[in-house]
Structure 1
């Protein structure tokens, strides 16, 4: 991949920022570089240049490239988990919940910058710390959905988690397949198709209150 273009000259001045704002600026610059180049090819020089800061400023916030990558990865998996949790909490209509859960994955994967690649296509997938962060984020998504399934169906924890894992797997894989083809299938149509597929299966599970189906 080609490296990202340097930041515009107007943005390359190292002005004083509050620590939190500076950290966010550095994370955004790192995201651009890591997505374009991958972890191994990226250099702290590239990230500092992209952010328009000196390397000492970058090292004040992150002691090394790996720590910067892990911080960025943690931010991205937390965002995905928050999207899914919000989808589950936004309504008590289960069909709408399925739509929202699938949509959360599509929106995360379709977000600007293709940051999803850090989560699902990292060139550090076999790194223990990377795997731990990704698994924790995936687990949070599955748990949020499983809690709803268990509450509504009376399924035990392991079965609810298995069903939730199936739904998140469907949402992730279909969203990643769709992204390069979104010019031919709109986001809304793709989400509707995949949530309909999921709903036709999950709606057959009876509610715990009276044995009626989830629908």
Structure 2
């Protein structure tokens, strides 16, 4: 990992901001530092310096590095879950839903700052509280997809959740594999390929009306 680049001089002056705006600023600075250095190597001094604030200002919002990390992690997993839920709610066309669900993972992993590393590659993944936050967020993604699968197929909750977890696993793994290779395969082509693969499987599950989803 490489240390984050210094904040621009204009951003290094502490200015009065509303509490909510200051919190966002600090979270973005923390994201840069944690992604670059990992939790254990990062220091509150680094984060305060990146944000252009004094350490007392940082401690006014977060009592310690762990609390700051957990708040950032919660924000990231919630953002991913919201992307997937929005994909499920955006259309009644199930083929389009699969495409949007896979695309949600690609967009999350391709977002600026590689914040996905906090969720999927954290050096705190064995920490019980970190694992609980990540599992809760991933669970929301799986549940959003499972609800649609159950409604269409009549599958019982456990089988619907199993199918949904397969789709989210495919999307996450393929998006992480694709990221360092995106110069050779575009985002749209990658999403199209992986959603087609997923659709060929999911569309074969019998629908509640006795038919199958159209190709």
Q: Provide the TM-score with structure 1 as the length reference.
A: 0.99
Count of residues in correspondence between the two structures: 214
Ranges in structure 2 where 5+ consecutive residues have no aligned partner? none
In structure 2, the partner of 1:109 is: 109
- Say whether the 8 Å CA contact 1:152–1:214 is kept in structure 2: no
The separation in 2 between residues aligned to 1:15 and 1:36, in whole angstroms, is 25
In structure 1, the partner of 2:131 is: 131
Deviation of residue 68 (structure 1)? 0.2
In structure 2, the partner of 1:60 is: 60
Deviation of residue 51 (structure 1)? 0.1
Deviation of residue 44 (structure 1)? 0.1
Higher deviation after alignment, 55-64 or 199-208:
199-208
In structure 2, the partner of 1:213 is: 212
Ranges in structure 1 where 5+ consecutive residues have no aligned partner? none
TM-align CA RMSD: 0.5
- Say whether the 8 Å CA contact 1:145–1:164 is kept in structure 2: yes
- Does residue 148 of the first structure (1) align with residue 148 of the second (2)? yes
In structure 1, the partner of 2:42 is: 42
- Does residue 20 of the first structure (1) align with residue 20 of the second (2)? yes
The separation in 1 between residues aligned to 2:6 and 2:186, in whole angstroms, is 32
Provide Cα deviations, 1:71-96, integer angstroms capped at 9, x if missing partner.
Answer: 00000000000000000000000000
| Structure 1 stretches of 4+ moved >4 Å | none
Q: Provide the TM-score with structure 2 as the length reference.
A: 0.99
The separation in 2 between residues aligned to 1:171 and 1:214, in whole angstroms, is 20
The separation in 2 between residues aligned to 1:203 and 1:97, in whole angstroms, is 12
- Say whether the 8 Å CA contact 1:44–1:55 is kept in structure 2: yes
The separation in 2 between residues aligned to 1:14 and 1:29, in whole angstroms, is 14
